[in-house]
Amino acid sequence: MKRARTIIVDDNPGFRKVLRKVLRRHPSIEVVSEAENGELTLDQVRTLEPDLVTVDINLPGMDGFELARMVKDRYPGTRIIFITLNGNPAFRREALRMGCPYIAKESLLEELSPALECLQM
């Protein structure tokens, strides 16, 4: 089975570490890199050609929505999952409008596997 090459994007290094551990337990995921902001992420997406990028909404510089739009425009085969502390219903609607799963960090363990299945990973 091909594993989905994944980049974790979050400005919190502690959360990136936790998410990496959680994703490593999923048999269809291979974490290939991490980034703390949108600019670094765009460089990594260009060079690493991931299948999946997990994106926090609140990032320094460009926000997660802007980053996701750029990734989707430039690399339409790359899938996005938003994983964030921000529970704003308008943000959830925007993520769903973009066709991206939206997971609250506090619900990560319960919602990650269904989101990955939704993306057929």
Question: pTM of the full predicted structure?
Answer: 0.93
In a 3-state reduction of DSSP, which class is residue 38?
Answer: helix
| pLDDT (mean) for 96-107 | 93
Q: What is the pLDDT of residue 120?
A: 74
Alpha helices in 9-101 (DSSP H): 13-24, 38-48, 64-74, 89-97
pLDDT over 70 (residue 1) = no
In a 3-state reduction of DSSP, which class is residue 50?
Answer: coil
| pLDDT (mean) for 53-75 | 96
pLDDT over 70 (residue 121) = no
| pLDDT (mean) for 14-23 | 96
Q: Name the CATH architecture for the domain at 4-118.
A: 3-Layer(aba) Sandwich (3.40)
